[in-house]
Each structure stands twice: as C-alpha cells, then as structure tokens.
A and B are shown apart, each in its own frame.
Chain A
Amino acid sequence: MSILPSAKTPPKPGLADLTVLVYGQTKIGKSTFCSHANGALFLATEPGLNAVEVFQVPIQSWEDLLAACAEIAEGQHPFRTAVLDTVDNAYKFCTDYILKKFKIDHESDLAYGKGHALVNNEFQRVLTKLAFLPYGLFLISHAKEIEVETRTGKYTRIVPTLPDKARKIVLGMVDMVLYCDLDLTPGEDGTQNLRRVIRTKPSLYYEAGDRTGRLPETLDLDFRKFLDAFNAAVSPLKSQGAAKAPAAK
C-alpha cells in the first residue's frame, strides 16, 4: 500500500489540534486562561497554581517531563490538552539534563557552541514530539523586555522569557502566540479603565501571532470569548473541509 497522500491536509479546525504559546506578565491570568481548555492537564514546573483548580503533574526535572509526556502519549487518560506551565522552566530543566549527561558545569564548556546546540536540539525534539500528539498543547511563558536594534532604530520589545534561540524554536513551531497584556482605555467619566486582553497580531513592541490569520487583533483574556472567536474564525474552514471531502472511488 502506498504511503503517499491522496489528498491535501486540511487546515486544523479544532483548538485541540493546535499548539499555542501564551505569555505575559506575572499574575495576569495565563494559567487561569489555559485551565479552561478542554480536558486540561497541567505539567506544572513551578508553584503558582494554588489558586486554580486543575489536574496537574508536578514537574521538577527534564526526566519528570519525559515520563509525563510518555504517559500522555500512551493515551490511557481522559485529558485532551497538555499545558506546559512554564516552558521557560522546562528549558532550564532541559539545560540541567544536558549538563548532567555530558558532565559539564555550563553549556559553554563544550567548544564551538556545542553545548547550546545540544540543549536546543533536545528541547526541540521533545516539544515537536509533544505537538504531534493528538492533543492540544499550550505552552506558558513569562514576559520580559529586550532592546531590539532594527534598521530604523532601537525599540524595547516584550517577548517570552526564553533564551533567543529557544524563543525562535518555540515561535517557529506554534500556531498562535498570544500575548496577555493590560489595555488602558479612557472611561466615560475620564478615568482610565484597565482591561486584561490577549494580543494576537505582532507589533514592533511585542511578539504575537496567529497562523489562522482570522482572530481579532485584541480579545478579552477570557477563554470562553477566545474560544468563541476561534470557532467563528475556523467555521468557514470546517465547512470548506466538508464541501471538499474527496468522493470515494
């Protein structure tokens, strides 16, 4: 039997098929947001989930994460979405794992950047494998400010708190980059209203992205509203997929 495809892969219409990076400042509500995902299982690498009622596996090392991922892959569980909280800590665990494996104190102890490359490869291997599982994957990260020098000037940019190369790996594999932010709007009485929002489109001042290209630029930081917007955005894709289903020969 041929292994070559007979039809094009349709766009992913379900949130459970997607990989999403959620990042933002501390205590803005990233974990609470993700906790409302369908059948969420938290891979908790740091304390901070005390206020949220969730199913969680405490992760204290890269080996813990690998073991949890293996169990998720077996499929003998009711969970539909894995939430890695936080991907920053997971990267640190990955670094510790490589340092221990190669008996070195720092990645730079291996010449010509080999240590850094080993960490990044292992990190990418596991995240890619996790993303290929038939479950949704949410990666949570904190936010930091960096200075970016472009051709037109210097900007302060808000980005996930991952090292530069790891950030490029993560942004390159996710379908959405959701930046959780505070939106300041003037109220009717002249006071300032603070609203917790998700930004889905990139700007010079923060990283964000939406591969579907259909989400509104700003959404309330509310999972139900996000889900409504997502479903409204992908419903044309679902109907297209149904209409284009190849007839059986």
Chain B
Amino acid sequence: MTAAPMVSTYSMWSLFRNCRKAVEWRHLRELVPLERDWNLHFGSLIHECLQSWHLRRDLSEVLTRIDRLCPRRLQDEGERRDWHLATAMMKGYAASYPSEGFEVIGLEKAFQGPIINPATGAASRSFVLAGKVDGVVRIGSDHFLLENKTASQLDADYLERLWTDFQITLYAYYVEQALGIPITGVIYNILVKARLQQGKGETEEEFQARRSELLAKSKTGKTTAKRKLPEADEEFQQRLEEKYAEPGMFHREMLYLSRDRFDILRSELWELTQAFLDARRRGVFYQNTSFCFNYHRPCAYFALCRSNGNPNVVENFYQRAAPHEELREPSGEANEPVF
C-alpha cells in the first residue's frame, strides 16, 4: 500500500525556494513561534472582513464582525489598534467602491490538484497542490481571480513585483484545472495600512521636562505649553477615516495572465518537488542565511537556527501547529454567537 501524497501549498513551495531549513521547521517539524505575529493577525482579520463585504455588501455586518473579532479591545492595546484600523479601513473601502464592476462568482474557493511532470504528463505520487483563492469574479464573459492584499506601502516596486507573483499564476492554473473555470487574469485588490498612531499623551513628568526645555529657550521666561492628553478613541477614528478618504489608500491592479507563464510554472513546480524529495531522502535541509532578515526583520525561525536547534529554544519559544493553516475554514462563522 502506498502512502497518500503529501498536501503542499504555495506558501510551502515559496518557503522552500527561499530557505529549506525553514520548511523543515514549519512543514516537517510543524513548529510555529509561540508569540502571535500582529501583521498576520491583522491580515487575516481584513480577509474575513472583505469576504463578508463581497458576499453581502453590508457594512454594518462587517463592522459587527470586526467588533466580534476584537473582543478585548478595551483592555488590549494591540487589539484596539487592529479594531481602529480595520474599522476605518472597511468604512473607507465601502465608500471607495459603492458599486462593483464585477460579478462575484465565488469567494474563498478551495482547490486541490495533481502536480504534473511536464516531460511525461504523469502526476506526482508524492505531492498534490492545494490552495484557496480569495475570489473568482466575472467581468463580461471573462473570469478573473480576486486577490486581496494589505500593504504597508504602495509604491512602484510593489506594483511591478505583482508581475512576478508565482502564487497567483499557480492558483490561476489550478483553478482552471480543478474548477474548470478559464481564468483571464487577476485583479489585485490592495488596501494600504495607514501608519497613523493613536496619541498616547504624556505623563506629568514628561510634560514638566518638555515645559522646562521650552522655558529655557523662551526669551520671556514664559510658555503656554499644556500637557498633551491621550487621544480619544473617537478623535483617532475620525483621523483614520479622513486618511482613508484620501486617494491612494485603495488600489486595484488588473493583470492578464500569459499562457506561457503556465508552462514555466509547471516546470518550476515539478523541479521543486524533485528537490524536496531529494532533501527529504538525504535528510538535508540547508539554511539560506541570505533569507534570515528578508523583510528587515529576523525570520520566525532565526532564534532556532542560531541555537543550532537547541531543544530549550524549541520548547520555550515555539509550539506545534499543523501546516497549511491557510486551507482552514475562516473562523468567522465559528465565532457566531450560539444564542
């Protein structure tokens, strides 16, 4: 009896291209950092909001969902920040797109398909590829993938990079194969994260220090300086809403997919499967040290690699979680009140 093929995803192959050691930690040892990554949390929150919005276009439902997904916002600073940003972002989004030029065919569409050897046309017995697209939409008679993205900054590099997006080409190919929908291109739906911070105010000591500095500089020996108080939630929300009314906070980029890209991609994907099998057979997943600080911050497994896999680091800073979390059903429905 042969074992069932291993389910692989875009994120696994992407990580494998970047650092094999990280794949070993995540997909074979099934380790994730113990502490939650705020960026990932916010991204999944907005994904759920967009799914809800594109399904029924009911802003009050979306805002209620944000309230429910940030239940500790009164006590927890991080959650309050998420709540403020998500609320203003979704209000701005609804105002920016009061009507849509596309028809939604499906949201969060999951797919799974074989990985084909381009030389022989045979399917891999070791891997299948699974994934989930944010949406499939129709404009006229053409179908497009809808890809939601949150970005800290939307600049020329960001937009140009979309052309080399391995993920979406891969998804388009598999959606065509698995769901039988011919895909013309991709609509990147980009939402920019505002960098505004809620004013924290200053302590009495900080105020006195600032006041003393101002007095020292003042020719009259007087100052009208007042202590800065923390910014009220309403004021901060207002500031965020004004920010989201500015042009450039939402952007849609439509790209058409070339059929040639599909062939290149099939070939690359097959090569990756062979490299993975070789690494697993020999038990060698080497580290790509150029990737350790890829986004100007340490990789999630940096502490682990630096300690040469010390079990103390594994047990105190990581926990086990099954891979391919992106394939799980969103938590939104599960969070519906039972009564």
Asked, given contacts A149-B78, A177-B316, whether A171 binds B310 with beta carbons under 8 Å apart, the answer is yes
B306 within 8 A of partner (CB): yes
Interface centre among B32, B315, B319 (most CB of A within 10 A): B315
Contact between chains at B313 and A149 (CB < 8 Å): no
Contact between chains at A209 and B315 (CB < 8 Å): yes
Tell me the count of chain B residues lying within 8 A, CB to CB, of chain A: 20
Interface string of B309-323 (1 = CB under 8 A from A): 011110111010100
Contact between chains at A173 and B310 (CB < 8 Å): yes
A174 within 8 A of partner (CB): yes
Write out the residue numbers on chain A whose beta carbons fall within 8 Å of the beta carbon of B317.
168, 171
Interface string of A152-172 (1 = CB under 8 A from B): 001000000000000011011
Write out the residue numbers on chain A whose beta carbons fall within 8 Å of the beta carbon of B312.
171-172, 174-177, 202, 209-211
B307 within 8 A of partner (CB): yes
Which residue on chain B has the smallest CB distance to residue A213? B311
B303 within 8 A of partner (CB): yes
Contact between chains at B311 and A171 (CB < 8 Å): no
Asked, given contacts A148-B34, A149-B36, A151-B321, whether A172 binds B313 with beta carbons under 8 Å apart, the answer is yes
Which residue on chain A has the smallest CB distance to residue B303? A168
**A172 CA to B304 CA in the complex, in Å?**
7
A181 within 8 A of partner (CB): no
**Nearest Cβ on chain A to B117's Cβ, whole angstroms:** 37
Interface string of A166-197 (1 = CB under 8 A from B): 00110111111100000000000000000000
Q: Which of B211-256 touch A at CB < 8 Å?
A: none
Which residue on chain B has the smallest CB distance to residue A147? B76
B205 within 8 A of partner (CB): no
Contact pick for B303, options A148, A172, A176, A207, CB 8 Å: A172
**A176 CA to B315 CA in the complex, in Å?**
12
**A154 CA to B78 CA in the complex, in Å?**
12
Asked, given contacts A148-B35, A151-B321, A171-B316, whether A209 binds B307 with beta carbons under 8 Å apart, the answer is no
**Nearest Cβ on chain B to A117's Cβ, whole angstroms:** 11
Which residue on chain B has the smallest CB distance to residue A21? B312
Write out the residue numbers on chain A whose beta carbons fall within 8 Å of the beta carbon of B303.
168, 172
The 9 closest A-B pairs by CB, nearest first: A172-B307, A209-B312, A168-B303, A202-B315, A207-B316, A172-B313, A202-B316, A172-B310, A149-B36
Asked, given contacts A148-B35, A209-B311, whether A172 binds B78 with beta carbons under 8 Å apart, the answer is no
Contact between chains at A171 and B313 (CB < 8 Å): yes
**A201 CA to B311 CA in the complex, in Å?**
11
Write out the residue numbers on chain B whose beta carbons fall within 8 Å of the beta carbon of A207.
316
Asked, given contacts A150-B319, A207-B316, A209-B315, whether A171 binds B307 with beta carbons under 8 Å apart, the answer is yes
Contact between chains at B310 and A150 (CB < 8 Å): no
Contact pick for B316, options A175, A176, A209, CB 8 Å: A209
**A207 CA to B321 CA in the complex, in Å?**
20
**Nearest Cβ on chain B to A8's Cβ, whole angstroms:** 15
**Nearest Cβ on chain A to B166's Cβ, whole angstroms:** 27
Contact between chains at B313 and A168 (CB < 8 Å): yes
Asked, given contacts A169-B306, A172-B307, whether A150 binds B35 with beta carbons under 8 Å apart, the answer is yes
Write out the residue numbers on chain A whose beta carbons fall within 8 Å of the beta carbon of B307.
168, 171-173
Q: What are 13 residue pairs bridging A and B, where the CB atoms are less than 8 Å apart in the complex?
A: A148-B35, A149-B36, A151-B32, A171-B317, A172-B308, A172-B312, A174-B310, A202-B315, A202-B316, A209-B311, A209-B316, A211-B310, A213-B311
Which residue on chain B has the smallest CB distance to residue A124? B306
**A176 CA to B317 CA in the complex, in Å?**
15
**A205 CA to B311 CA in the complex, in Å?**
18
**Nearest Cβ on chain A to B30's Cβ, whole angstroms:** 13
Write out the residue numbers on chain B whose beta carbons fall within 8 Å of the beta carbon of A148.
34-35
**Nearest Cβ on chain A to B304's Cβ, whole angstroms:** 8
Write out the residue numbers on chain A whose beta carbons fall within 8 Å of the beta carbon of B313.
168, 171-172
Contact between chains at A172 and B306 (CB < 8 Å): yes
